[in-house]
Amino acid sequence: MITHMSDLQDVSVKVPADRLGEFYEWFGRWMRQPSPPEPPNSNVELTAWDPDTDYELAVAAWRTLPLRARLVLGTLIDHPDRRYTGDELASLHDIPNGKYGLAGALAWPGRRMRKLGRTLPIQVDNNPSGGSLYWMTPRIARLWGKARDRADDPKDQSDGP
């Protein structure tokens, strides 16, 4: 729970005029909720993805990803070993705010993978020109490419594990 006004951050969002009242209701309910506790597995060592054992888990994980994360991961899947800057990936997928927007687009999927006990299926290196370089190894790209194909197949919409 927020205890001091100094703990608050100003945020601006665009809300459809006809849903403004609904937004304020939702926001009021959200503000009354206690802050979520620290995840119990926050100190757990995360496991890298293993193509020999993690296919079903990757299918289930893909199905939970928001569109922007799917687009970014899809690019890395389709071009294994190619290093992209955050600004390049953001530009390719119309993610606002460049590398900062990309970091935001990958934040929730990173938390989701953490709950699964896994890392994001990507590699991140320092870019000598500043920022980061994002890429995926061919082995992990094959796993996630197969997972994406199955997860996106309209004939196979089982929930998986």
- Asked if residues 151 and 78 have their Cβ atoms less than 8 Å apart, the reply is no
- Asked if residues 135 and 83 have their Cβ atoms less than 8 Å apart, the reply is yes
More confident residue, 13 or 156: 13
Place of tokens 């296919």: 55
> 158 pLDDT band (50/70/90 cuts)?
low
- Strand ranges in 11-157 using DSSP code E only, listed in sequence order: 84-85, 123-126, 132-135
Residue (of 98, 154, 94) closest to 131 by Cα position: 98
- Asked if residues 77 and 148 have their Cβ atoms less than 8 Å apart, the reply is yes
> 73 pLDDT band (50/70/90 cuts)?
very high
Helix (H, G, I), strand (E, B) or coil at 57: helix
What is the per-residue pLDDT for 43?
65
Q: How far apart are alpha carbons 29 and 52 in whole angstroms? A: 44
Domain locations in the chain as residue ranges = 55-151
Residues near 122 by beta carbon (within 8 Å), at least 6 away in sequence: 73, 76, 106, 134, 135, 136
Global confidence as pTM: 0.71
Lowest mean pLDDT among 23-37, 70-84, 137-151: 23-37
Query: Is pLDDT at 3 greater than 80 in this prediction?
Result: no
Task: Please give the torsion angle defined by the CA atoms of residues 123, 125, 129 and 131, in that order, rounded to the nearest 10 degrees.
Answer: 80
More confident residue, 28 or 107: 107
More confident residue, 93 or 160: 93
What is the per-residue pLDDT for 55?
97
Give phi and psi for 16, each to the nearest 5: -55, 135
> Domain 55-151 classified CATH 1.10.10.10?
yes
Q: How far apart are alpha carbons 150 and 9 in whole angstroms? A: 41
